[in-house]
Amino acid sequence: MGVGSVTLMVAVLVGTVDAGCVVTKSMCYADPDQGKGRLLGPGDEPNTPMNKEWCAQKCYNMKMSLAGVEYGGQCYCGSKLNRKPTAASGCTMACNEAKTTETCGGSFAIEVFNYTCSGSPVPEPKPAPAPPPPPPPPPPCTSFNEEGCAELFNPCLNTSEPYHAMPFCNPTLGLDVRAADAVSRLTLQEKFANLNNGGSPIKGLGVPAYNWWSEASTGVANEINRRGKATHTTKFAFPITTGMSFNRTLWQKTGAAIGREARAMMNVGTSFSTFWAPVINLAREPRWGRNIETPGEDPYLTGEYAEWFTKGMQESPDAPGYIQASACCKHYVANSMEQTTQKDGESHERQHVDSLVSQQDLIDSYMYPFQACVEKG
Average pLDDT (214-239) is 80
Average pLDDT (268-286) is 89
Per-residue pLDDT band for 78 (boundaries 50, 70, 90) equals very high
Name the maximum alpha-carbon separation found in the chain: 119
pLDDT exceeds cutoff 90 at 231: no
Average pLDDT (164-170) is 95
The most confident of the ranges 16-20, 75-79, 191-195, 248-252 is 248-252
pLDDT exceeds cutoff 70 at 340: yes
pLDDT exceeds cutoff 90 at 246: yes
Choose the weakest-confidence range: 34-43, 218-227, 353-362. 218-227
pLDDT of residue 14: 35
Per-residue pLDDT band for 168 (boundaries 50, 70, 90) equals very high
Who contacts 209 (Cβ-Cβ below 8 Å, separation ≥6)?
143, 144, 145, 198, 199, 200, 201
Query: Residues 318-332: pLDDT tens digits?
Result: 999 889 999 999 988
Burial 56-79 (b: 16+ CB within 10 A, else e): bbbbbeeebebbbbbbbbbbbbbe
Q: Which residue has the higher pLDDT, 36 or 256?
A: 256
Average pLDDT (159-186) is 94
pLDDT of residue 273: 86
Average pLDDT (358-376) is 95
The most confident of the ranges 4-8, 152-156, 288-292, 295-299 is 295-299
pLDDT of residue 229: 61
Per-residue pLDDT band for 142 (boundaries 50, 70, 90) equals low
**What average pLDDT does the structure give for the chain?**
85
Q: Which residue has the higher pLDDT, 254 or 195?
A: 254
* Distance separating alpha carbons of residues 188 and 35, to the nearest angstrom: 73
pLDDT of residue 3: 42
Per-residue pLDDT band for 277 (boundaries 50, 70, 90) equals very high
pLDDT exceeds cutoff 90 at 70: yes
pLDDT exceeds cutoff 70 at 5: no
Per-residue pLDDT band for 139 (boundaries 50, 70, 90) equals low
3-class SS letters over the chain: CCHHHHHHHHHHHHHHHHCEEEEEEEEEEECCCCCCCCCCCCEECCCCCCCHHHHHHHHHHCCCCEEEEECCCEEEEECCCCCCCCECCCCCCECCCCCCCCECCECCEEEEEEEEEECCCCCCCCCCCCCCCCCCCCCCCCCCCCCCCCCCCCHHHCCCCHHHHCHHHCCCCCHHHHHHHHHHCCCHHHHHHCCCCCCCCEHHHCECCCCCCCECCCCCCCCCCECCECCCCCCCCCHHHHHHHCCHHHHHHHHHHHHHHHHHHHHHCCCCCEEECCECCCCCCCCCCCHHHCCCCCHHHHHHHHHHHHHHHHECCCCCCCECCEECCECCCCCCCCEEECCCCCEEECCCCCCCCCHHHHHHHHCHHHHHHHHCC
Give how far the C-alpha of residue 346 lies from the chain's centroid of Cα atoms, to the nearest Å.
46
The most confident of the ranges 47-51, 233-237, 304-308 is 304-308
pLDDT of residue 321: 85
pLDDT of residue 18: 42
The most confident of the ranges 59-73, 192-206, 346-360 is 59-73
pLDDT exceeds cutoff 50 at 2: no
pLDDT exceeds cutoff 60 at 212: yes
Q: Which residue has the higher pLDDT, 159 or 251?
A: 251
pLDDT of residue 13: 32
Per-residue pLDDT band for 52 (boundaries 50, 70, 90) equals very high
pLDDT exceeds cutoff 60 at 260: yes
